[in-house]
Structure 1
Amino acid sequence: MKLAGIHHVSAITADADKNHDFFTRILGMRLVKKSVNQDNTSSYHLFYADAVGTPGTDMTYFDIPNAGKTQPGVSSISNTAFRVKSEQALQFWKERFTKHEVPHHEIMEKYGRQTLYFEDFEGSRLMLVVDDGKGIPYGEAWVKEEISADHAIVGLGPVKLTVRNATSTERVLTEVLGFTHAGSYPSDVAGMPDILVFTTGAGGPAGEVHIETRSDLPMERPGRGSVHHVAFRVPNMEDYPKWEQLLRSQGFMTSGLVDRYYFKSIYFREPNGILYELATDEPGFDSDEPMESLGETIALPPFLEPKRARIEAELRPLSINK
């Protein structure tokens, strides 16, 4: 069994309307699914991805209006990257971020690639990374009036985990999930160990987890803009129950097999407390909506459809529903 890379990253927003504006208008991503948190149906769950919702391209947000401010620290997913195709695209985004007053840093090299750190209006810690296309394939660009196919975001890149002690996290990635240690690069913080890079699938940014050791930080207190979990791709249905058996055999408490309808999932926490999900590539976001109209209405999986009237009545009004 082998994981095929990152499947999705799920985070928290306190303002779904502004979140939608940022990811669709500023970043040019497509809203491929407007649904609800299946564990708390009074909350929206928004999925932003490439043109067709390719696994490995979607950043999702749970809408929690009263979410407090994130206090960064360890036991966290402290950065989420998105892939672009070239350094020219990165320069385009730097200019666009300046135009739209998006907080960002200068373009920097990390692990031999050009990167651009930026934040959304809630302080989500994000990054663009140039992907040369030699690893996990690009997603399909969602072309917008101001954003060409050459400049568009084409999928998720590495996630960075910040932990106090990396050893147990490394062990889970390599000995349980089958990642390989691919290298390292210097920390941005003087005196801290190098950031370690682990990879899976066909490689490249879309298959990487970076581990940062920070002995100087407290435990993160999550809030708006923080990441809830990262999901890794299970490329075929045959392996899905086998992963559950493997995790149980290694002593992990899991969620069991959870049917999210658009994909099937298994959740568990690694020893530093970070929540992982293993999610299948199939069946996909067009299971209940035509590809051309993804994300235009509130989509509910079949097991929630009988409760639609009550669910929609409890959801707060959003401008994206108009």
Structure 2
Amino acid sequence: MTNNQLLGIHHVTAMTDDAERNYKFFTEILGMRLVKKTVNQDDIYTYHTFFADDEGSPGTDMTFFDFPNVPKGAPGTNSITRPSFRVPNDAALEYYEQRFNEFGVQHEGIQELFGTKVLPFEEKDGQSYQLVSDEDNEGVAPGKPWKNGPVPTDKAIYGLGPIEITVSYFDDFKKILEEIYGMKAIIEEEKVAILEVGEGGNGGQVILRQDTQGPEARQGYGEVHHVSFRLKDHEAIEQWLEKYKAAGIGNSGLVDRFYFEALYARIGHILIEVSTDGPGFMDDEPYETLGESLALPPFLEEQREYIESEIRPFDTKR
């Protein structure tokens, strides 16, 4: 494996209309840990929250932009249609199914998807997700379950699973995933393919679906904003900048997010980010109090008083 190869899924970012409700859902029901409460660096008037494993490991975080004044999105083709979360085994799915019933979470019951058991469900904003069982799974290693969370550690979510993308231009998009992003198709059926990256398995898969008949998705809350794939370090992301240039793919240029470095490119309708594994989320907060206060990268720290006066506060102390 060369240094610039993708290692798996890094994070998925979606949009919510209510950061506080979303926080309670992810921490109190799903049992994921809030590892960073900060602001959208491109729009400092809105929150950016990160839910992950116990230590905020790469490949475990689902993040949200808080857009309370943005219209609700509409699901459809040419979009990222469903993020997923890994749980240790089939028994964990049964645990969550009972938990969803207890908390009134809309779900579709345990199903089988390409030989793996899954549990599709929704948040109140309409965002679609699914839990994916790691039973008999091999490949990208999971993270560590939140040890002080409400879900037993032998059942809890501990990483991101396959990301589902639906497009009308299936063959062209698949070709780019293979030739540019180095993914390999392991399952190919009519109108669907599963592609793997890095060590593969649930932590390194894309479920690509074709839909040429349905309505086109509309961005808004309850929809996914982008997906990011993991890179080892700064050297690797520098090589990706050159790779995009050589391929003629427009991109953002390197962006220092403080917690990681990022590089964005829009492939058709899909915003794809590649991100470095580090520095991570514990450079500016200790492990014990991750996510309990508003964290700002150094380049925004001088604006703290103004930012805190503009965003609506909500309590994340545990």
**Shorter chain as normaliser: what TM range?**
over 0.9
User: Partner of 1:314 in structure 2?
Assistant: 310
User: Partner of 1:195 in structure 2?
Assistant: 192
TM-score (norm 2): 0.96
Please point out which of 190, 204, 210 is paired with 1:207: 204
Please point out which of 14, 18, 21 is paired with 2:17: 14
Please point out which of 27, 31, 38 is paired with 2:30: 27
Amino acid at match of 1:172: I
In 1, the alpha carbon distance for the partners of 2:304 and 2:292 equals 16
1:97-149, CA deviations, whole angstroms, 9 ceiling, x for partnerless residues?
A: 01100000021110110000000111111000011342111110103464111
Please point out which of 130, 139, 147 is paired with 1:135: 139
Please list every run of 5 or more consecutive structure 2 residues that lacks an aligned counterpart in the other structure. Answer: none
User: Partner of 1:89 in structure 2?
Assistant: 92
1:3-51, CA deviations, whole angstroms, 9 ceiling, x for partnerless residues?
A: 0000000000000110000000000000000000000000000000000
In 1, the alpha carbon distance for the partners of 2:149 and 2:239 equals 44
Please list every run of 5 or more consecutive structure 1 residues that lacks an aligned counterpart in the other structure. Answer: 186-192
1:291 offset after TM fit, Å?
1.5
Distance of aligned partners of 1:218 and 1:54 in 2 relative to their CA distance in 1, 3 Å threshold: same
1:58-99, CA deviations, whole angstroms, 9 ceiling, x for partnerless residues?
A: 000000111222211111000001001111000000000011
Distance of aligned partners of 1:175 and 1:70 in 2 relative to their CA distance in 1, 3 Å threshold: same
Identity percentage of aligned residues: 44
Between 66-75 and 55-64, report the one with greater CA deviation: 66-75
- What pairs with 1:33-182 in structure 2 (closer than 5 Å)? 33-131=36-134, 132-144=136-148, 146-182=150-186
Which secondary structure does the structure 2 equivalent of 1:287 belong to?
coil
TM-score (norm 1): 0.95
Which secondary structure does the structure 2 equivalent of 1:96 belong to?
helix
- Note if contact 2:61-2:160 (Cα within 8 Å) is conserved in structure 1: yes
In 2, the alpha carbon distance for the partners of 1:203 and 1:292 equals 32
In 2, the alpha carbon distance for the partners of 1:90 and 1:194 equals 27
In 2, the alpha carbon distance for the partners of 1:127 and 1:10 equals 15
Between 30-39 and 218-227, report the one with greater CA deviation: 218-227
User: Partner of 1:287 in structure 2?
Assistant: 283
1:319 offset after TM fit, Å?
3.8
- Note if contact 1:28-1:144 (Cα within 8 Å) is conserved in structure 2: no
User: Partner of 1:217 in structure 2?
Assistant: 214
Amino acid at match of 1:27: L
In 1, the alpha carbon distance for the partners of 2:204 and 2:63 equals 18
Amino acid at match of 2:221: R
- Note if contact 2:13-2:224 (Cα within 8 Å) is conserved in structure 1: yes
Please point out which of 224, 227, 233 is paired with 1:227: 224
- What is the root-mean-square deviation of aligned Cα atoms in Å? 1.3
Which secondary structure does the structure 1 equivalent of 2:63 belong to?
strand
Which secondary structure does the structure 1 equivalent of 2:15 belong to?
strand
1:321 offset after TM fit, Å?
7.0
Which secondary structure does the structure 2 equivalent of 1:320 belong to?
coil
Which secondary structure does the structure 2 equivalent of 1:34 belong to?
strand
In 2, the alpha carbon distance for the partners of 1:37 and 1:80 equals 20
- Note if contact 2:31-2:149 (Cα within 8 Å) is conserved in structure 1: no
1:317 offset after TM fit, Å?
2.6
Count of aligned pairs: 314
Distance of aligned partners of 1:146 and 1:300 in 2 relative to their CA distance in 1, 3 Å threshold: closer
Amino acid at match of 1:47: F
